Amino acid sequence: MQKLSLDALARELLERATASTSGRAARTVHGGHEHSLRQTLIALTAGSALAEHESPGEATLQVHSGRIRLVAGGDSWDGRRGDLLIIPAASHRLEASESSVVLLTVVVR
């Protein structure tokens, strides 16, 4: 068994994102390319974004802190701490309205 403090890692990733020119930092906390289930903690500074991309499988996004917007085509969903967004099976992007940390969970088939 392994235990991980998401709060501590979120603080570390936000510091790294703030120091980065991209305004982003991430770390896979469970799984990886050799597993079907992958969970990644992602930090974004206010105003930064993940460019439009496709999802490799079913995915959810849990907002750990901050405020984000998930945009897919003409639709968008706002999320804040505690919200769980189901990522659509369509091209999408993620924008940070304020400095934020999210937990991305993806199941690749």
Domains of the chain: 6-107 (2.60.120.10)
Which residue would you say has higher pLDDT here, 31 or 11? 11
pLDDT value, residue 108: 81
Query: What is the Cα gyration radius of the chain?
Result: 13
Question: Which residues, in sequence order, are CB contacts of 34 under 8 Å at separation 6+?
Answer: none
Q: Judge whether 102 and 61 are in contact, CB under 8 Å.
A: yes
What amino acid is encoded at 59 in this protein? A
Dihedral sign of CA atoms 64, 42, 76, 48 in order:
positive
- Phi then psi for residue 79, to 5 deg, are -135, 150
pLDDT tens for each residue of 52-82: 988 778 999 999 999 999 999 899 999 999 9
